[in-house]
């Protein structure tokens, strides 16, 4: 959890289309220090999304080749408002193509996400409900 003026992330919804999972998030940040400049080549991802498979009711991280956890991290741009009030309330979506699983067909998946500000404070972690995939 960030300091009181920091970000709070809320899961809004998730849905599956024909070949796309859409994760919809809303967040609030009191001091507006979210995102990095496009030319900041060394800035880390600041919206961190972990991917889990659900197999026989058990949540397990999905490992690429059995070695590395699959993530869908994003680097949000600077979205600090101009003016005196820097607080932000925003909604954004992350699109994940289902064909990325390449022959891997879990019954369900879920995603856990958190947001980090430029001071490297971390929001709470939110999780989607299990998302049933139809192949």
Greater model confidence, 28 or 66: 28
pLDDT of residue 7: 41
Domains of the chain plus CATH, in order, are 7-132 (2.60.40.10)
Helix (H, G, I), strand (E, B) or coil at 22: strand
- Which pLDDT band, with edges at 50, 70 and 90, does 110 fall under? confident
pLDDT of residue 135: 59
User: How many other CB atoms sit within 10 Å of the CB of residue 120?
Assistant: 8
Cα→Cα distances 8→35, 74, 86, 115, Å: 15, 17, 15, 8
pTM score = 0.75
For the residues 91-107, what does the mean pLDDT come to? 70
| 129 has a pLDDT exceeding 60 | yes
The predicted-structure confidence for 15-64, as pLDDT tens digits, reads as follows 555 667 778 888 888 888 999 999 998 999 998 888 888 888 888 887 76
For the residues 5-20, what does the mean pLDDT come to? 50
DSSP letter at 118?
Answer: T
The predicted-structure confidence for 68-95, as pLDDT tens digits, reads as follows 667 788 888 998 888 899 888 888 888 7
Q: What span, in angstroms and rounded, lies between the C-alpha atoms of 45 and 82?
A: 23
pLDDT of residue 16: 56
Nearest in space to 76 (alpha carbons), one of 122, 121, 33, 106:
33
Q: Is there a contact between 124 and 7 (Cβ–Cβ < 8 Å)?
A: no
Helix (H, G, I), strand (E, B) or coil at 100: helix
DSSP letter at 130?
Answer: P
């Amino acid at each position: 959890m960030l300091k009181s003026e920091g970000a709070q992330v809320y899961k809004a919804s998730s849905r599956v289309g024909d070949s796309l999972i859409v994760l919809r998030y809303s967040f609030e940040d009191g001091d507006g220090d979210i995102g990095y400049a496009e030319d900041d080549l060394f800035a880390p991802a600041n919206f961190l999304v972990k991917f889990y498979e659900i197999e026989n009711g058990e949540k397990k991280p999905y490992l690429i080749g059995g070695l590395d956890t699959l993530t869908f991290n994003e680097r949000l741009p600077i979205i600090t408002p101009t003016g005196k009030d820097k607080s932000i309330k925003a909604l954004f979506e992350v699109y994940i193509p289902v064909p990325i699983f390449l022959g891997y067909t879990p019954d369900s998946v879920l995603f856990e996400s958190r947001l980090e500000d430029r001071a490297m404070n971390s929001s709470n972690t939110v999780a989607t409900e299990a998302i049933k995939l139809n192949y």
